[in-house]
Amino acid sequence: MRVPNYDCFAACVFGLEAVVARELTHLELLPTRTEDGRVWFTADPSGLARANLALRTAERVFVVAGCFEADEFDTLYEQTVRIPWEEWLPRDAAIPVQADLTRSPIRSVRSTQSVVKRAIVSRLQQAYGLLRLPESGPRFGVHVLARKRHIVLALDCSGTGLHKRGYRTRSGVAPLRETLAAGLVQLSVWTPDRPFADPLCGSGTIAIEAALIGRGIAPGLNRRFDAEHWPWFSADAWSEARAALRSAVRPRLQRPLIATDHDARILKIARHNAQRAGVADDIHFQQCDVADFRSSRSYGCLITNPPYGERLSERRAVDALYRKLAETVERLPTWSVFVLTPHPQLERLFGKTATRRRKLYNSRIPCTFYQFLGPKPPEPGRHR
Instruction: Please tell me the distance from the alpha carbon of residue 198 to that of residue 304, in angstroms, as a whole number.
Output: 5
Comparing CA positions, the residue from 165, 220, 214 lying closest to residue 188 is 214
pLDDT at 383: 42
pLDDT tens track for 206-234: 999 999 999 999 999 999 999 999 999 98
Residue 303: phi and psi, rounded to 5, are -125, 125
Comparing CA positions, the residue from 163, 200, 165 lying closest to residue 179 is 163
Amino acid letter, residue 261: D
Q: How many CB atoms lie within 10 A of CB 235?
A: 12
pLDDT at 314: 72
pLDDT at 51: 98
Instruction: Please tell me the distance from the alpha carbon of residue 181 to that of residue 246, in angstroms, as a whole number.
Output: 22
pLDDT at 384: 42
Q: Is the dihedral of CA 170, 176, 182, 184 positive or negative?
A: negative
Radius of gyration, CA atoms only, the chain: 23
pLDDT at 1: 40
Contact between 356 and 299 under an 8 Å Cβ cutoff? The reply is no
Domains of the chain: 6-156 (3.30.2130.30), 178-219+250-372 (3.40.50.150)
- DSSP SS3 for 235: helix
Q: Which element (helix H / strand E) includes 104?
A: none
Amino acid letter, residue 135: E
pLDDT means over runs of 10, the chain (384 residues): 80 97 97 96 96 98 98 97 97 97 95 98 97 96 97 98 91 82 98 97 97 98 96 92 97 96 96 97 98 96 89 74 96 98 93 96 94 91 48
- Kindly list the distances between the CA atom of residue 254 and the CA atoms of 73, 214, 251, 257, in Å, as whole numbers in the listed order: 59, 10, 9, 9
Chain-centre distance for alpha carbon 248: 21
